Amino acid sequence: MAKQLGFLFDVNRCVGCRSCEMACKNEHQTAFKIRWRRVSQTSADSFLSISCNHCESPECFRVCPNRAYTKRRDGIVVINSDRCDGCQACIKACPYKAPQFDLELRKVSKCDMCLSRQVKGLLPACLNACHTGALSMLNFSGDLKDGLVKTLPDFPDYRMTRPSIRFYPQKDKKRYWLKN
């Protein structure tokens, strides 16, 4: 099996601070409305942080009429902006809303798992910024940890694209009351 890098998200550790989201934006200096990583609140006390999931079977790759997408040997899905004509077919096809349209450039861009940082031996910016340890990187071609799940409530159906993300499932949160 070829190497497949992806993300591991622990819903129990995420506090919704959006540090990962801001680190991505700062690292890549993306346009105002472009958010390659997004944190959303899924319940009163639960958050979800997702970006491109560098899918095993990426829909963006399949539907792009200009063949602007490439899946690298390490599983990272990248877009060649020189080949993108801005048709946005990939945006419509991606169930995770990972590709983002840049109105100024009239092209699509997306998370590349911070390839420029990884070349220097650094973690992707989002992982580096996550102070709770909720977000980490995983090699799917290695042994996966026990207890991980492929989906969570409010996460799109994983069967079509087989996203390279796994989750620690949400545990019941215990409430403690202080006595007066």
The string of DSSP letters for 85-107 reads -S--HHHHH-TT--SEEETTTTE
Map out the domains of the chain with their CATH numbers.
5-168 (3.30.70.20)
Task: Please report where in the chains the tokens 């995983």 appear, as a residue.
Answer: 138
What pLDDT was estimated at residue 175?
55
pLDDT (average), residues 139-157: 84
How far the first Cα of the chain sits from its last, in Å, is: 59
Answer for the pair 5, 113: CB distance below 8 angstroms, yes or no: yes
Identity of residue 23? A
Task: Please report where in the chains the tokens 């409530």 appear, as a residue.
Answer: 153
What pLDDT was estimated at residue 176?
55
What pLDDT was estimated at residue 76?
95
CA-based torsion, 109, 111, 112, 115: positive or negative? positive
Over the chain, what is the mean pLDDT?
90
For residues 77 and 134, what is the distance between their CA atoms, to the nearest angstrom?
A: 23
Spell out where the chain has E strands. 5-10, 38-43, 46-50, 69-71, 77-79, 100-102, 107-109, 135-139, 165-168
For residues 127 and 107, what is the distance between their CA atoms, to the nearest angstrom?
A: 26
pTM of this structure:
0.87
pLDDT (average), residues 58-69: 96
What pLDDT was estimated at residue 179?
62
What pLDDT was estimated at residue 143?
67
Q: How confident is the model at residue 177 (pLDDT cuts 50, 70, 90)?
A: low
pLDDT (average), residues 21-31: 89
Total Cβ atoms within 10 A of residue 117: 16
| C-alpha dist (Å) from residue 45 to 2, 90, 106, 124 | 37, 32, 37, 26
Structure tokens at 27: 């690292």
